[in-house]
Amino acid sequence: MIIDVLANSDKYVKLNSDFKKVFDYLKNHDLKNMQSGKHEINGDEIFFNLNEYETKPAQKLEAHKKYIDIQVVISGEEYMGYTNIENTTISEEYNSEKDVMFLNGNVDKVKADTKSFLIFYPEDAHMPALCTDTPKKVKKAIFKILIK
């Protein structure tokens, strides 16, 4: 897992050529005024889901196999739980159509706000949308980058 501020995003483009496409997209588009839903950048290779929801005290721990996530809070703030997948047990088997499996395990938390981004690789189990103190409305972009 990687967490940093968006101002430092250029430091990470060498890790994956598609990261640059995501960060350039963020710089050149106003996601605050976009409608929720799926938005394609490069077909199924790079796309994002723009979600609006209220944070909760608990969520499901999840991981993916086909895609790397870059998660960016557009408005609001939340805690994100995370742990290495080796520290978990499976609660719901992997669904290849949805590219998700659900897990049980203890997580550490980090605060995500509009200045930050988080990158989750397949080995990074994560628990999104946790409230920081009380439930709050959040708008978040979850970029999906196909692992090649």
Domain ranges of the chain: 2-146
Q: For the residues 106-116, what does the mean pLDDT come to?
A: 97
pLDDT given at position 42: 97
pLDDT band with cut points at 50, 70 and 90 for residue 117: very high
Q: What class does CATH assign to 2-146?
A: mainly beta
Residue whose C-alpha is closest to residue 45's, from 70, 20, 66, 63: 66
pLDDT band with cut points at 50, 70 and 90 for residue 142: very high
Record the pTM: 0.96
Residue 114 contacts residue 75 (beta carbons within 8 Å): yes
CA pair distance 122, 76, nearest whole angstrom: 26
CA pair distance 147, 55, nearest whole angstrom: 29
pLDDT band with cut points at 50, 70 and 90 for residue 123: very high
Residue 66 contacts residue 99 (beta carbons within 8 Å): yes
